[in-house]
Amino acid sequence: MGGFNVARWRHPAVIWLRRIKKEQYWRGKRPRRVRRMPWTSATLYGVALLAAGLVLWRVPANPGTLPVSSRPVSDRPSWMDRGIAGLKAPESTLKAWINDGIPLIGLTLNPSNFAMHVRDLLTTGLTEVSGVHITSLKGLLAMEIPQLAALPHVTPPTHRVATANPSKAPRPKEQDAVDKSLPGAGGRVWAELGKDPQVGLYQTHSHESFWPYVAAGSSTAYSTDWSKTIVQVGWWLSEDLHREGLSVVQSRVDNMSEGVLASYNKSYYTAKTLLKWYPTVRMLIDLHRAPDNVGPANIHGHKVAKILLVVGTNKLLPNPYWHENLQVALKLARALKGLAPGILEGNGIDMVPYRYNQQLMPADLMIEVGGPNNTLAEERYAVHDLAEAIHELFHQDAVPARP
């Protein structure tokens, strides 16, 4: 028998009794490596199983089957249901406000509206790319057959019903409504100063007031004492505009009668009604005060509330007039800066993605005068300068014509 050899490299000691190559031995006899347990993966897997067990333990079993056409509804009220109940606002009102004021959030509450929003967004995109409205049959045909664009437009004859005064429709009774608690104009809800109004005013947040005039301990600077609210400020602006030679109508409809959540939905119909009843209006103003405190400016020796012009764009929903609105806002800010340096808050213009009912016509503006910490005297001085600036725009014919 031959000698022996000891192999020690990474293996137990082996005594060789025969002349064989160690490589041949370990090729068939090499022990397999023992893998260690992946404790991190096992721990995570165990935690996932524990979480799944907790879910199955906490969620009750389905008591029955639901038809395919229905959606499962929880018996427990959601946070939105509890919020609506706490605010005492009807659910339909809240959803309408969300769809009109902050449209994309409304999709989570009312998925059926998604198709409508997608349609609007696609229509706007196609119009921007092609320059043709998708609802215009003539425009679509003209894209395919360019020669059609040269054809004259023929308006079909219309048949009108004969009336005693065909040039003027009967005046609605609501247009002459009266509320004695409203300031000026004999308490008329639709206060008219002059014939054929050129400027229309309304207040979406009609209860907006100011801290010096609300009860101590109030959580919000809101009031229904109209002489201490933004409605009074709107009346002062109307008077000053009329003194400048402009005809004005101020809607004093209480757009917050159903709460702040429903205000933009209600003010949308208020503004639509104003434009319907007063077709001569060329500038539409939604008057507000800022939600946060704004320090006054010192102008001509007086403390004056600052002014901010809010321009809604078309980032979320179509707004065909936002470019015209921005141009008017720029001209108005320039006029204010010239008349009362320092009256503008910041650069005077705040562009926002929401349209805030500014899609109704060109020169459709939201104007914030001061904030909740300002006094009525500071508001009074501010709207006086604002009226002069607006008159300057009309004098320069810088207000676009209403379509």
CA 51 and chain centroid, separation: 39
How far is CA 378 from each of CA 228, 265, 332, 357, 390, rounded to the nearest angstrom? Answer: 13, 30, 20, 27, 19
Look up the CATH number of domain 173-395. 3.40.630.40
Q: Which H helix or E strand runs over 193?
A: strand 190-193
**Closest by Cα among 109, 99, 101 to 264:** 101
Cβ neighbours of 98 (radius 10 Å): 22
Give the model's confidence band at 66: pLDDT under 50 very low, under 70 low, under 90 confident, else very high.
very low
What is the pLDDT at residue 208?
Answer: 97
Residue entry with tokens 């007063």: 278
Q: Which two tokens stand for residue 226?
A: 């109209």
Give the model's confidence band at 113: pLDDT under 50 very low, under 70 low, under 90 confident, else very high.
very low
**Closest by Cα among 189, 197, 176, 178 to 246:** 197
Spans of all domains in the chain: 173-395
Give this prediction's pTM: 0.61
What is the phi/psi pair of residue 351, to 5°?
-95, 130
Q: Could you give the CA distance from residue 306 to residue 295 in angstroms, rounded to a whole number?
A: 7
Sequence length of the chain is: 403
Model confidence pLDDT, tens digit, residues 150-173: 555 554 454 444 444 445 678 999
